[in-house]
Amino acid sequence: MRNTREERTMTRVYNFSAGPSTLPLPVLQQAAEEMLDTQGSGMSVMEMSHRSPSYEKIHNQAIADLRDLLNIPENYKILFLQGGGTLQFSMVPLNLLRNSKKADYIDTGEWSKKAIAEAKKFGDIHVVASSADAGYARLPDFDVSMIRNDADYVYCVSNNTIYGTRFATFPDFGTGDVVCDMSSDILSRPIDVSRFGVIFAGAQKNMGIAGLTVVIIREDLIGHADSKLPVMLDYAVMAKDNSLYNTPPTFAIYMAGLVFQWIKKLGGIDAMHALNQAKAQLLYQAIDQSELFYGTARKEDRSLMNVTFKTDDPEIDSAFIAFAKTKGIVNIKGYRTVGGMRASIYNAMPLEGVQALVDAMTEFETQHKKV
């Protein structure tokens, strides 16, 4: 029987899933160790009252560590919410369409499209730039002059999980408030939080497990919602009670806290970014040198987190996905509308995992040439 931790670890695969995604092994191990007795409380974190001092310590430490990691200024609140990135597609317009009720959106893929559709229920939403006609394989041309002067906010997605593109640097957005969906690259690279009014991200890619959504919001943007808005959708309610208005997703917050500490131990966001650059470079180099595989995103817009690539033949793609599986490499199938392969190499994917994928690509290509 396989019982020891070491033996079980041996059976772990390299999981390139786009989310929920692979977690850092030390985080999983610590969670396992603390499962029955979390930090001397005599109970699992899952069994703690969210009003207990033991839980509040975990909650506040996670907030403090995230503030530290991203250098979040004091005039920003960190909220721990539920409902995924998707609920933010509604909460953002419901809370921020406060003056002209106009907002300008940059359309860079499936997730901005969904956010646009939701926001259109609540205000005058204008798509200022879109790369839909390029199949979202690149970012659209965008210039600050495209933004309406009286727009309540500008909305963008930092990293496009499905298409494998990202803002390598954020454009000049002017002086208005900027909302950014960072679901698939938060904590992967340094960001200047003060350039944004609201940043949000589901935790299940780079921060932990599903069930937690982190919102970072400048204080002056809180408190503008209609009084008829359900309390759970009002940033002001959640901010006032330090995200403890009702029962928060305690275990997901605990897990995010462990991930924050893991990143701090590695050396913080700069160290994480350097590792992410090394991983992405290794994989893109293999793709660019290959005669079989090619990248699907425009080079200058390539994501560090989601690497999308293909061969010319969907059957060969399927054969490669099956071949990779025999090597313990799983979840590399591309999104259904894109096809091909997508390797999500979030923070927790080790360099060795990317190397294993590159080795599998090389071996597959060599075999393929012989046929």
By annotation, the residues acting in catalysis are 111, 181, 205
Name 271's Cβ contacts closer than 8 Å, sequence gap at least 6.
none
> Does 249 participate in binding ligand PMP (rule CB under 6 A)?
no
**Residues pairing with 295 in the sheet:** 309
CA 211 to CA 199: how far, in whole Å? 17
Q: Which residue is nearest to ligand PMP (CB)?
A: 84
Pick one of 17, 184, 188, 308: the residue that binds ligand PMP (CB under 6 A).
Answer: 184
Around Cβ 370, how many Cβ atoms within 10 Å?
A: 6
CA 81 to CA 79: how far, in whole Å? 6
The stretch near ligand PMP (CB under 6 A) out of 45-53, 176-184, 295-303, 320-328 is 176-184
Phi then psi for 196, rounded to 5 degrees?
Answer: -120, 150
CB of 100 to ligand PMP, least distance (A): 25
> Does 331 participate in binding ligand PMP (rule CB under 6 A)?
no
Task: Please give the full DSSP string across 241-279, using - where no structure is assigned.
Answer: TTT-SS---HHHHHHHHHHHHHHHHHTSHHHHHHHHHHH
> Does 354 participate in binding ligand PMP (rule CB under 6 A)?
no
R_g of the chain computed on alpha carbons: 21
Pick one of 183, 206, 250, 296: the residue that binds ligand PMP (CB under 6 A).
Answer: 183
Per the document, the length of the chain is 371
CA 58 to CA 250: how far, in whole Å? 9
Site for ligand PMP in 121-160 (CB under 6 A): 157
Q: x/- string (CB under 6 A) for ligand PMP, residues 18-57?
A: -x--------------------------------------
CA 145 to CA 138: how far, in whole Å? 20
Q: x/- string (CB under 6 A) for ligand PMP, residues 202-231?
A: x-----------------------------
> Does 196 participate in binding ligand PMP (rule CB under 6 A)?
no
> Does 118 participate in binding ligand PMP (rule CB under 6 A)?
no
38 or 160: whose CB is closer to ligand PMP? 160
307 or 361: whose CB is closer to ligand PMP? 307
38 or 303: whose CB is closer to ligand PMP? 303
Pick one of 161, 250, 331, 347: the residue that binds ligand PMP (CB under 6 A).
Answer: 161
Site for ligand PMP in 74-93 (CB under 6 A): 84-86
95 or 161: whose CB is closer to ligand PMP? 161
137 or 360: whose CB is closer to ligand PMP? 137
Around Cβ 146, how many Cβ atoms within 10 Å?
A: 16
- The letter for the amino acid at 263 is I
Q: How far is CA 184 from the centre of its chain?
A: 2
DSSP β-ladder status, 341-344 and 306-310: antiparallel
Pick one of 181, 234, 301, 317: the residue that binds ligand PMP (CB under 6 A).
Answer: 181
**Residues pairing with 341 in the sheet:** 309, 333
202 or 249: whose CB is closer to ligand PMP? 202
CB of 140 to ligand PMP, least distance (A): 16
CA 277 to CA 99: how far, in whole Å? 41
CA 78, 82, 85, 87 torsion-angle sign: negative
Give residues in contact with ligand PMP (CB under 6 A). 19, 84-86, 111, 157, 161, 181, 183-184, 202
